[in-house]
Amino acid sequence: MVALVSLTALIAPRPLGADSATSSPAAGKAPLSADQVVDNLGRRNEERAQALLHSEATRVYHLVYRGLLSDREAEMTVEATYDRPSSKEFRVVSQSGSKLIVNRVFKKLLDSEKEAAQPAMSAKTQLNRDNYNFELVRYEPSKTGGQYVLRVEPKARSKYVYRGQVWVDGTDFAVTRIEAEPAENPSFWTKKSEIHHEYQKIQAFWLPVKNESVSYIRLGGRANLTIEYRDYRVTDARQTGASVRALGQKTQATNH
């Protein structure tokens, strides 16, 4: 999950001059309790984390700031690479618009994401009972059969955790959507922030496809950041194992 960092903490301190195929029940009464959903979510997240060896994607960051003193806008395209267990690397492909936004928002977001991916920090931000309290809100239909809506409240406050609602797929037990706000306001200049994240199943993994953060500035104004994820390339441990076995069988056949 992308690190949750308030936009205005970065731009406003100075005024701007794999998975199960079982079927899901129809919408209505939730087939599982909140505790059961959280147990399944934690177990399946761990399985997916172990299976995902390597991924690459193109990201497009776009930010529009509308304020009392001035308006600014910028865009940056990044090639993002992940290697298990915690390595994230970013290569800037192009950038345009406000240099202030590029340097003080986009690049700091990348630094924060690398920091959040490190094991010690990641352990404090995972969506599990160690870090969050959960409440089942409802069970509703989805394209995949059904999903659980959970209200989440962090047990400790930081810029990397959030409070709000998460949608959990009832078959794969993966987060498909987040509607929330940061648990900690990282800047005096931020009056309110909203977080909207969407995920999509790519091979066996639910990966982000669009993130939007809207921050309202205390002195007036609004900052809207969107991150779009494109062209995923994913290496699955199970695929790799199958490829190795196939190669071994081919080698044995050749030797015979």
Check residue 30 and give its pLDDT.
86
Check residue 226 and give its pLDDT.
97
- What is the C-alpha separation between 140 and 167, in angstroms, rounded? 9
Check residue 14 and give its pLDDT.
33
Check residue 26 and give its pLDDT.
44
How many C-beta atoms lie closer than 10 Å to residue 243's C-beta?
Answer: 11
Check residue 68 and give its pLDDT.
79
How many C-beta atoms lie closer than 10 Å to residue 241's C-beta?
Answer: 11
Strand ranges for the chain from DSSP E: 52-67, 71-83, 87-97, 132-140, 147-154, 162-169, 175-182, 190-202, 205-217, 221-236
Residue ranges for the chain with pLDDT beneath 70: 1-28, 186-189, 240-256
Check residue 13 and give its pLDDT.
33
Note the pLDDT tens digit of each residue in 114-142: 988 888 888 999 999 999 999 999 999 88
3-state secondary structure of 32: coil
- What is the C-alpha separation between 174 and 130, in angstroms, rounded? 18
Can you read off the two tokens belonging to residue 129? 């009972």
Check residue 244 and give its pLDDT.
40
